[in-house]
Structure 1
Amino acid sequence: MDGPRHVFLSAGVVMARYGWGKTKGYQNLKDRTLTPPPVMTHPDRWRLDQLLAWEEKRIASAEAALEALLAPGREEVGLADLLPKPKRRRRAG
């Protein structure tokens, strides 16, 4: 009965798990498009198994994006191509 389904985490523990500061952590926890909703409210508690599933989806999404970026047949992409373009160009001279 000690599996992840029966482990409930407080907001502070969830923020510590992901290395979020207090302000950013509470913003992230309230954004339902980003994190799963709490299973209990007053006080808010998140189930560990739901957070683990959410982590797996995010990792899979990041890996798929990386694979697409590095796919064979794709043009060679350098670091400079991934950075934002400068707003102004300096004049030579």
Structure 2
Amino acid sequence: MQHLVNSIKIDLQTIGFSETPELVEQVKNELNRVLRFRKDVVAADFYFSEDGTNPETNKMVRWRLGVPGNDLFAEARSASWASSLRNAGEKLRRQFVD
């Protein structure tokens, strides 16, 4: 499903389950946190899937940021969507802050 945050198009795809309002809110909050460090983001794609049977690492988030030049990409696995989203956001932030 597509959403809009600060005029940035967000594409949110959930594989094997339906998105919830809480998940959408977590995505928007994490995107706003990352936007504090980079202002030229034009799009953000989020892919959520449950992979494997290990409950410690079965929540996978893949996150692509559309920016001028090469897009940035990060993925993370964890026991919760919030943790995976935060970890992927940190990986993205390190790509353009360091």
Q: What TM-score range do you get, normalising by the shorter chain?
A: under 0.3
Q: TM-score, normalised by structure 1?
A: 0.27
More helix by share: 1
More strand by share: 2
Higher relative contact order structure (alpha carbons within 8 Å, sequence separation ≥ 6): 1
If you compute each CA radius of gyration, which structure gives the higher value, 1 or 2?
A: 1
